[in-house]
């Protein structure tokens, strides 16, 4: 396709892609799209689900693990509480007595903190550089977008308090100013869909002026629903900088309407030239 000629790395344009010179506002997901602080989170959540799910007669642990993985990834991009609501429902279906989903969420966060604590501490002490825990090329992309005068927003399914702390630790909070949003315990009051609606309403723009980057289906789907342009970041989180697609993400995000798929931001400038029709 003509759009791919100047790219040095992998890229995939869907038939839906067309330049959007009128884009003025940009929405980013956080984990996996920009931040790698929580890389490996499924390795914490899946075993927790397997541990808590009552086994069915004749069911193997591998089968329970596959069920847990599918439930978790199907809801990836939504607030963490939705995965815990699903866990509680599965426990109930299997004859168990589930705890409140909020209890499961807090237990997951406790376990996750053990998994990522060394990264947070490394950033704090300076033994880990912020860019080491950003998706490859992300900072240059953010700088480019800000340099073009675009207004940036960050919306995550992770709790807002952690998103703000981690964005500060990665030295990217400054690109978004007050526009950093994340999950809250009163989960009905927040969603990426609500953030998008707010962006359009407060700035009096149509969805045609919105560009979104994400590695979860929610932000891609919600962006497409309002007529925005959606870039799927099928990041290979465990091998940052490999330039390879995470194939599961790629297929999932194309399936919900992504206009472009990239593995990281190594070709950020070329991508923006395509998007703005330069």
The low-confidence residues of the chain, meaning pLDDT below 50, are: none
Mean pLDDT of the chain: 95
Place of tokens 């959007």: 20
Tens digit of each residue's pLDDT (9 = 90 or more) over 220-237: 999 999 999 999 999 999
DSSP 36: -
Contact 25, 227 (CB under 8 A): no
Cα separation, 162 vs 17, whole angstroms: 34
pLDDT at 6: 87
Among residues 271, 180, 200, the alpha carbon closest in space to that of 231 is found at 271
Neighbours of 243 (CB within 10 A): 16
pLDDT at 86: 97
Among residues 116, 113, 96, the alpha carbon closest in space to that of 105 is found at 113
DSSP 45-102: HHHHHHHHSPPPTT--HHHHHHHHHHHHHHTBTB-HHHHHHHHHHHHHHTT-----HH
- CATH architecture of the domain formed by 2-36+134-275: 3-Layer(aba) Sandwich (3.40)
Contact 42, 73 (CB under 8 A): yes
Cα separation, 119 vs 104, whole angstroms: 23
Domain-wise residue ranges, the chain: 2-36+134-275, 42-125
Beta bridge mates, 13: 260
pTM: 0.92
β 229-233/151-159 pair status? unpaired
């Amino acid at each position: 396709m003509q759009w791919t000629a100047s790219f040095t790395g992998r890229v995939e344009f869907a038939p839906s892609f067309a330049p959007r010179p009128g884009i003025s506002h940009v929405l980013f997901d956080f984990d996996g799209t920009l931040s790698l602080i929580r890389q490996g989170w499924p390795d914490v959540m899946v075993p927790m689900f397997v541990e808590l799910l009552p086994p069915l007669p004749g069911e193997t642990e591998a089968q329970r693990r596959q069920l847990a993985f599918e439930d978790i990834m199907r809801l990836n991009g939504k607030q963490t509480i939705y995965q815990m609501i699903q866990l509680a429902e599965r426990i109930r279906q299997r004859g168990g007595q589930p705890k409140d989903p909020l209890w499961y969420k807090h237990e997951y966060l406790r376990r996750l903190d053990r998994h990522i604590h060394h990264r947070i501490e490394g950033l704090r002490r300076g033994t880990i550089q912020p860019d080491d825990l950003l998706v490859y090329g992300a900072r240059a992309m953010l700088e480019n977008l800000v340099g073009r005068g675009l207004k940036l927003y960050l919306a995550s399914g992770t709790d807002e308090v952690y998103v703000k702390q981690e964005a500060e630790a990665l030295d990217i909070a400054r690109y978004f100013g007050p526009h950093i949003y994340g999950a809250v315990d009163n989960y009905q009051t927040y969603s990426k869909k609500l953030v998008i609606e707010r962006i359009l309403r407060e700035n009096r723009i149509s969805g045609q002026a919105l560009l979104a980057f994400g590695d979860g289906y929610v932000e891609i789907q919600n962006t497409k629903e309002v007529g925005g342009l959606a870039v799927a970041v099928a990041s290979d989180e465990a091998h940052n900088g490999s330039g390879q697609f995470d194939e599961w993400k790629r297929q999932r995000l194309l399936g919900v309407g992504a206009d472009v798929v990239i593995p990281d931001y190594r070709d950020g400038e070329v991508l923006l030239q395509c998007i703005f029709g330069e």
